[in-house]
Each structure stands twice: as structure tokens, then as C-alpha cells.
Structure 1
């Protein structure tokens, strides 16, 4: 019987999305625990075999071997996730993990270094192949509004698993008195548990049976980015997701010399400080799943990016251990709040037949970020001779630059998030949305406009863009920098202005024409527009009324 027939016979014992999500979470968490136990236990074994003098070389080789498969095979893993059933691929790879851990018992018993490194490489390939399937199947298991919560749960559990796996590696090594074979046996049992959990995920369909892989993986990544560029903000989300792992990797690498140079602690204590940051990521990811809603979640990510920059800056100037711990927890928490909305955006805005490739592209750039973090730390310490505290300050400046880029590219989400917070706490106002519930691609005319009114509209329509007549705003610099602001060409009459507004419309993206004064649009302009575009736009006037309970905003359709 051929491999493909065997692959199709992989079973599934679940029928519901909630049960499947729980099984997916357990399967991936056990995999993360196993990765960390195996990786660190292998380091302890090789240090014992080769000597403590080789510790730095062993750690460097371990890090490189684990990262390389993500760079080489991420694009192919994405194609596999789209061509095959993600559930079946996940179960198959969990079976590979069981096999690897079985061989690891032999490798740890014989203490052969090349065999240990080889198994780590295979385990890294296993993780690289699993990742697009793990995240890509979430929208196939749960409804769209549950995806942010599911991502928050998966990410939170992953970082808790990292902490637990790192702890277990040291704990089991010490408890078994460096009997590494027994540790490998425990890893084998954990792998079996993960395999059984994967069987509990319900079957998912194949999405793109005919898609083919290019032999040169960089060209595949480039082609994926070209497709992603056709969807607004998808490329931004992919690179932002990668930036999160860059920040995490730099923090993990720099916190140990920071602990030694600034806090005068040991390198072991520095390792524990990163676990504090990982705990913060788990907390932030869980909160992001609870707080973030799909329409405004990217605005939360922008605010979280600013929080990361501020805490990096604070970390670079403090020498108090309690304040350092608080800063690291906050960096982690803001990191979780930053990452989950972008992961959700990638999942929900990728086509079903391309979702695995989009996630794979994000993985490729994420681990490129890990490599850049290592290179940057080397440049800071060896060439620029910066202290570890100054290294955190440099990354704070870089994060602040990323924040400015994000609020430029994701301005509608950022301003919508800020507006929601403002009007919730300080200025209650309600809006009657019945006219727009069925169609968000509409032209809204805001008369007697003020920025307060526009701010309120932004709070209600996260994807809204604003169009300013050129007689008031003559190609302002901020209209060129901010994605959601547009200036109409000079000299347009009413009919042409509405026609120009229509050219800025995209699905589910209303555009508001911003008038400082009352400006009645004649019916002839609407007819002229219909004749020009062979379709009928939805044109609404925005009216604000003062009532006892506060302001009310109504949308009135122009007949």
C-alpha cells in the first residue's frame, strides 16, 4: 500500500470544534514541552561528554541547528499544509516525534554527539512542518469570532510549555542524577501522549490539491508575499509577527549579560529572568484572546508595540531587580498583546488554499528575526562595544520606529481603538447602524465636520477612511503618511467628488467625505454618479443630535 493511501487512513476521533481545539492545544503543548526537555537535556549531556570548556560551542551549535530547518523548510511546510489535510499532517508529524524520541533513548544511552545533533535537526524539521498546520487549522475548527480567543489560548499555552519544559530539563537531570536515558524515556512517553491528543482533532479538508512547490524556497517566499500584497495589511501583519519573535529572541539572548553586567547576578539567574518574560507573554496572549476583537485587534497591537518600546527603555536605565522583573513581565505581556492579533489577522485574511503558505512565510521571517537578533547582539557587544543595557535602549529605539510605521500603515485600526477607549470612558455616544449593517461599502457625508465627530465615526467603523476636499486640505503631509487619510484632487465638483470617493472604496471599507460646512449634495450628482459607474452607491448623511442621555448619531440615506 502506497504512502498516500496510508496517509488518508489516519483516523480522527472527534466531531466538534471545541473538543478538537482542546486536543490541538494539548498536542502542541506536549510537543513544545518535549522540544525544550530534549534540547536542554541534550546540552547537559554533551557538556558532560565534551567538557565544560565546550559549553559555548555546544549552545551555539544547538541554536543554529534548531533555527536552520525553519529557514529552509518553512515554505515547503506551508505548501504541504495547503495540499494535505492539516489534521492528518499533524498526526503524521506527531508520529514522527514518537519515532525520534524512541531513537533518542538509544542516542542518550550511547552518548554519541553527532546522533544527538542529528535528532535535534529532525525534531526541528518536525516543528517547522507542524507550525503552518497547527495555526492554519484553527479557522477550520472554530468560527471566525472565536479565532482570536483560540490564538490567545494556543500562544499562552505554548509559552507556559516553554517555561515548564525548560524547568523539567533541569529538574529531571538533577532528579535522575544525570541518567539521561531515563529522561529520554520520559520524552518518549510525552510524545505518545501528544500523538494520542492529535487523534482527537476532527478531520480537516484538503484546500489546494494542485499547488506545486518551487525548488528554490526563497522564490516561493517571494511569490507568497506577492500574493499577500493583494490583501490590505497582510504583508504588514506577516512582518509584524516576525518582529515579535525578533524581540523575544533578543530579550532571551541579552538578558543574561544584562543580569551579569547591570544586576551583578549569575548567568543562571539571567536565564530565570527570561522565564519571567515568557510568563508575561503567556499572560499577554491570554488577555489578547479575551480583549481583542477581530475588527479592532490590530489597533491593540499598535498600542502594545509602544508599551514594549517604553519598557525596553525603562529596562535600560534601571538597576533595581524588582523593577527589572516588572519591566520584563510587562515586555512579555505587551508582546503577547502584540502578537496574537497579527496571527489572527493572517489566519482570517488568507485564502483557504493559501493559508498554510502565509503562515509559513511568517515563520520564515520570524526565524530570520531570531538570526538577526543574534547578529545584532554580536555587533552591539563586539563592534560597537555597547553594554547590554545600551543594547536594550537601541532595541527600544528600533521598536519605537516600528510603532511609527505601524500607526502609519494601520492608522484606521489604531485610531479606531483609541476612539473606542476614549468614548467608552469619557464621552458616551451611540449610533444607529441599521442602515449599514448589511453593507459597509458606502460613502458617508459628514457635514459640519469636526475631528471629534470623525473620531467617533472611527470608533464605530474600524476600517473607515476619510476623504478631505482639497480646498481645505492641500495635500497635507500627514495625508501622505497616514494610510486611512486621503485628499481629493483640487477643483472637483460635487459629482466628481462622489465619483472620486467611490474609487477609494474597498469591500467592507466605508469612506467618509469630510465637510467643514453644510454641503447639500443634489440628486443630479447621484444620478451622474450612477451613469458614470453603472451601479448605485449607498450614500448617507451623518447627523449628530443632542439628547438627555448624550449624543446620538444617525445615518440618513439620500434619496
Structure 2
């Protein structure tokens, strides 16, 4: 997928109709909401407008608390394509009533319909994300999420902007009224081409109580710590996003001395940043859910969020500036860069998290987990408003100071999450190694079973073999390695983080030897992927040493498939023993090409260590 390009999905009937449906839905939501806010702002008194704007915000978010749990259950119980079409038909009916409400300027009806559009959005959310794993291949999942996030943020931006453009024209309210009906119809027409996505849990009994359903899902998800903390991390992102976007207009007016066009320009830059970050995330992930980009995204959010405080210029003008006047002043370029990069790294941060939830949630409860994510997002967005009131009103921080506080909080949240789920930090280290010192390519990794226990066997060339294999293989891998390497200063923390299993000869340390085989057996019984280096030590000559009998003992106890693999191109690297001890010489190779090759899996009854040795030698060939 990475080689073909992320946009190839837009040419697929499995994805394009869905993409258009969700994009026009997000566009229409924001055209409608912004139309209401403009109508209230310009047609009502200042006091009445302020009250109704806050009421409108609450009415739109309330359905996510009330109806997301039910929506998640419906998405798991029924065929998703038909469910989407029903939701889009409801949108047409609601937008037809909304057009009438705009034309008659009925405040009560508009507020009621805003609540109902919130219900419609809450219903669409779980099916929007849970359908992706059913229509996309594993290697397409992250690219699909990247396109969805890109489309969603750009649709939000363009819907908001178009509402302002239409409203400024003569008869603008009527134009908005017509626009929301047209968008709803286009969304429904697109949804008719979405392929069938069968029910994953037709026997599910619906729980109509949103509180007990939400708490039950929380209990279920907590067992899968990576998924649960990913939900929390996504919700934190929406806390940050809501905090920035809520303060945009005031920040622009009071600190940048810009008119509404400047605020729109900054919002555009932020949205383009998220879209670009989402696409770049897919490009850098090489077709797999690359969790190593999440810490990079979090670091970027912290650094550029903090820099926004220092980049805010001291401007002294009498009148608010136009966007052209703002661009003519170099003192504002730091703000432009920060907002673009906050969006960019936000895309790095959020896309892999959404893909992880879809990939690792139990299939029968996937939509319910996504519904829980939507509930938590709504809660965190409400908290962001309360948090802003406390810090900006009661404590008296300036908005730039508030942005600095958010950046510091993001760093604390990131450290907590990465400590609780070491896989994020682990994948970050692997990704960094694979994109600095080495260019890792691979062939034949489709031979590794997508689920169930399997043992990988590979030649042992360097101290970073495990990192390079772990970065290339889609499934999480547990490595078995010599205790001496496992306990090496500087690398021990990494191997421990990766749940590596140390081993040594039975004669040297019988306790470690037997504990290793017990741990291997337990992991295989749990359906995990185990990787061993049957040579038992790093090669000192570049040749593949004789394979020991440990692999035969493993499959005798746990008869599972064995996939032979070979690393090519690592001999001579800083981490190998060529030309002296590894790690004891200066690095001479950067961005050098390394290849990992895998062959078809062997059935357990065929496993012999000498035969596997010959196969791995053949896979490696002459390129050591």
C-alpha cells in the first residue's frame, strides 16, 4: 500500500463511496452549525446571541453522551452499509426542516434540529470507523484512517468558511438553506455505493441505558490496556484541539490584532497541517499501524505548543489588521509556523491511534469501543471549556500563557501513557533506527501467519537484529536472545521493554534455561509471535553458524508453524562484530540498505535445526 500511494484507495469502490459520504457529512454539519451561529450573531441582540450560542454548543454535544452507546451497539448488530444509508436519509429529512427554519428564522426549531443533527452525528460516528477494518486490508488500514482524518478536517474547514461566504451575500440565509439540502442528498447518493459490511454480532442484546452500557464497555476495554489508553490519548487530543480552536478568535483579535479574516486564515493553516500530517503519517508507516509515530506527534505538539507562547508578537496598531497586513509583518511568522506544525504533528499523533483501536478491538465489540471513544471525546471537550474558564478567568492567565500550560500538560500526559503502554516508546525507537542508520526493506513477510502462534527463526548478525525485525513485522514479536546480550548496558532497558526472553545454555545456568522455555511455551499458548536466533550468539565471521537444537525442543512442546527468515546487509555495521567488537568502533554507515526476507512457514512435524539452517543460508545468499 505504501508503495502504491495512499491516494490509490480513492480509486477503490471499497473506500471512495464511504469517503465521500463521511466527508460530505462533516462538511454539512459545519455548514449548518456555522450558519446557525452567524444567524444568531447578526440577527439577534448581543445578550441574546451570547446565550443562544452557548446553548447551541451544548445541544450539539449532548447527544454524544446520550446516544453514542446505543449507536455502537446498533453498528455491531446490523449490516453497516444499510445503517449508513438510513442515517443519511434521516439527514435529508432534518436538513429539509432546517432549510425551512433558516428561511423563517425560527430560533427554537433551529436549536431543536441542531440537537437532532447531534443525534445523527452520534449515530454515524461508531459505524464510520468500525466499517473500515471490514472493507480494507491490514496494510490499507492506516492509509484509510489518514484519508478519513484529512477529509474530515478539510470538510470542517470548508464547511465553516462556506457558511461565512454565503451568509455575507444578499439572501445568504436562503443560500445556506439550499446548500445543506444539496449536501445531504449528495451524501446519501454516495452512501448507496458503499459495499455491504455484514453484522459482526447479530445476537447482541441492546442495552438502552447509556450509563450502564458505557460503564460495561469501559470494563471490557480496560482488559486491553493499549486500546483503552489509546481511547484516552485520542480524547486528550480533542481536549487540546477544542482548547486551541475555542481561543482562536480571541487570540487573533487581542494578541495578533487581526480581523476575522486572519482568524479564518489561521484556522485554515491548522486544518491543512492536520491533513498534511495525516497523509505524511501514512507515507512514513510503510503500510502498517506504526505506533512509533505517536511519540513523535506528541513531542511536536509539546514543542510547538510551547513555542506559540514565545512566538506571540507584541503588536501595537490602532485598527485590526487584514490577513494581507498580518502576512506583511514578519513578527507573526512564528505563530503561522507553530499552528501549521501543531496540526501536522496532531495528524502524526491521532491517525495511528484510531487505526490501533480498529485493529485491536474485539471484532464483535469494535463499534461499541468506538462509541466509548466518542463519549470520552465529548467529556474531554466539555472539560476543556471548564478548564479554560478556570485558568483564563479565575487564575487570570493570558491566552499565550494558557497555551504554554497546555503544552506542559501534554508532555505530562504523554509520559504517563508511554510509561503505561511501553509499546509506543518501543516502536518509536525501532522506527527511529529504521529511518536513520538503515533503510529497511522486506520481502515475503506475508508468509508470517496473521494470527495464532508462530516461531520466527533468523540469522544473528548484530545487536539491533531484534529492533529491525520488530519494526518490519506487523504483529508484536517477542524475542528470545542470549542472556549476555539481554543484560548489556545501554540495551537492557530496551530488551526488557520489549518483553524479551533471556536464555543461556542449560549447563551454564539451568534456572534461566528452563525459565526461558516455560516463557516461550506460555507465549505460544497465548497465540503470540516468538522470534529466536538459533545460532545462539552474534556471528564473528559474517557466516551463519550452526543452528542449535532449541527450535526442535520448542515445537515438540508446542507444535506451531515456523517461519524461516534472513537479515541481509547488516554485516559491517556499527552493531556487528566486523572489524572489531560491536559498539567499540566509530559508526561508518548511515542510511545503508538492509533487507529482511521471509519464506513460507514450515509445519512443526518437518522442523529440523540443520534443515532450517540451510534454508536461512539460502535466503541470505551472498549478501551478508
The TM-score range, normalised by the shorter chain, is 0.7 to 0.9
Would you say 1:500 and 2:519 are equivalent positions? yes
Number of the residue aligned with 1:401: 412
Point out the more displaced range, 249-258 or 399-408.
Answer: 399-408
Change (3 A) 1:279 1:104: same
Which one has a larger percent helix, Structure 1 or Structure 2? Answer: 1
Q: 1:119 aligns with which of 113, 117, 125?
A: 113
CA RMSD of aligned residues (A): 3.8
- 1:117 Cα deviation after fit: 0.5
Q: 1:121 & 1:397 partners in 2: Cα distance?
A: 35
Number of the residue aligned with 1:337: 348
- Per-residue deviation, residues 196-243 of structure 1 (Å, max 9, x unmatched): 121122232222222123233132123223333444622222222222
Q: 2:397 & 2:523 partners in 1: Cα distance?
A: 48
For the Cα contact (< 8 Å) 1:93–1:130, is it kept in 2? yes
- 1:41 Cα deviation after fit: 1.3
Q: 2:567 & 2:182 partners in 1: Cα distance?
A: 65
TM-score, normalising length: structure 1: 0.84
For the Cα contact (< 8 Å) 2:295–2:428, is it kept in 1? no
Number of the residue aligned with 1:285: 278
**Secondary structure of residue in 1 paired with 2:258:** coil
- Per-residue deviation, residues 234-273 of structure 1 (Å, max 9, x unmatched): 2222222222222211110133333244323346633542
Would you say 1:455 and 2:448 are equivalent positions? no
For the Cα contact (< 8 Å) 1:284–1:337, is it kept in 2? yes
Number of the residue aligned with 1:464: 477
- 1:67 Cα deviation after fit: 0.8
- 1:47 Cα deviation after fit: 3.1
For the Cα contact (< 8 Å) 1:228–1:235, is it kept in 2? yes
For the Cα contact (< 8 Å) 1:294–1:341, is it kept in 2? no
Number of the residue aligned with 2:68: 74
For the Cα contact (< 8 Å) 1:85–1:206, is it kept in 2? yes
TM-score, normalising length: structure 2: 0.76
- 1:163 Cα deviation after fit: 1.1
Change (3 A) 1:422 1:119: same
Would you say 1:52 and 2:46 are equivalent positions? yes
Number of the residue aligned with 2:166: 172
For the Cα contact (< 8 Å) 1:308–1:399, is it kept in 2? yes
- Per-residue deviation, residues 316-356 of structure 1 (Å, max 9, x unmatched): 11123211111111111111121111112222223332221
**Secondary structure of residue in 1 paired with 2:529:** coil
Counterparts of residues 506-545 of structure 1 (less than 5 Å): 506-510=526-530, 523=549, 535=559
Number of the residue aligned with 1:163: 157
Counterparts of residues 246-285 of structure 1 (less than 5 Å): 246-266=239-259, 269-285=262-278
Number of paired residues?
Answer: 540
Number of the residue aligned with 1:371: 382
Q: 2:571 aligns with which of 543, 546, 558?
A: 546
Would you say 1:64 and 2:75 are equivalent positions? no
Point out the more displaced range, 127-136 or 505-514.
Answer: 505-514
Change (3 A) 1:444 1:398: farther
Number of the residue aligned with 1:442: 455
For the Cα contact (< 8 Å) 1:543–1:553, is it kept in 2? yes
Number of the residue aligned with 1:298: 291
**Secondary structure of residue in 2 paired with 1:304:** helix
Number of the residue aligned with 2:307: 314
Number of the residue aligned with 2:185: 192
**Secondary structure of residue in 1 paired with 2:571:** strand
**Secondary structure of residue in 1 paired with 2:416:** helix
Q: 2:593 & 2:38 partners in 1: Cα distance?
A: 66
Point out the more displaced range, 167-176 or 510-519.
Answer: 510-519
Q: 2:595 & 2:17 partners in 1: Cα distance?
A: 46
For the Cα contact (< 8 Å) 1:443–1:502, is it kept in 2? no
Q: 1:358 aligns with which of 351, 359, 369?
A: 369
Q: 2:139 & 2:563 partners in 1: Cα distance?
A: 29
Q: 2:30 & 2:388 partners in 1: Cα distance?
A: 23
- Per-residue deviation, residues 126-173 of structure 1 (Å, max 9, x unmatched): 111011112222222232322222221122111111111111111111
Number of the residue aligned with 2:498: 484
**Secondary structure of residue in 2 paired with 1:442:** strand
Change (3 A) 1:535 1:144: closer
Change (3 A) 1:239 1:483: farther
Point out the more displaced range, 376-385 or 412-421.
Answer: 412-421
- 1:491 Cα deviation after fit: 7.8
Number of the residue aligned with 1:110: 104
Change (3 A) 1:513 1:497: farther
Number of the residue aligned with 2:82: 88
Number of the residue aligned with 1:208: 201
Where does the alignment leave 5 or more consecutive residues of structure 2 unmatched?
A: 1-9, 313-330, 504-508, 540-544, 574-591, 599-606, 611-624
Q: 1:552 & 1:112 partners in 2: Cα distance?
A: 66
**Secondary structure of residue in 2 paired with 1:510:** strand
Change (3 A) 1:229 1:410: same
Q: 1:441 & 1:231 partners in 2: Cα distance?
A: 22
Q: 2:339 aligns with which of 321, 328, 340?
A: 328
- 1:487 Cα deviation after fit: 7.5
Would you say 1:146 and 2:165 are equivalent positions? no
- 1:432 Cα deviation after fit: 8.8
Point out the more displaced range, 343-352 or 92-101.
Answer: 343-352
- 1:437 Cα deviation after fit: 3.3
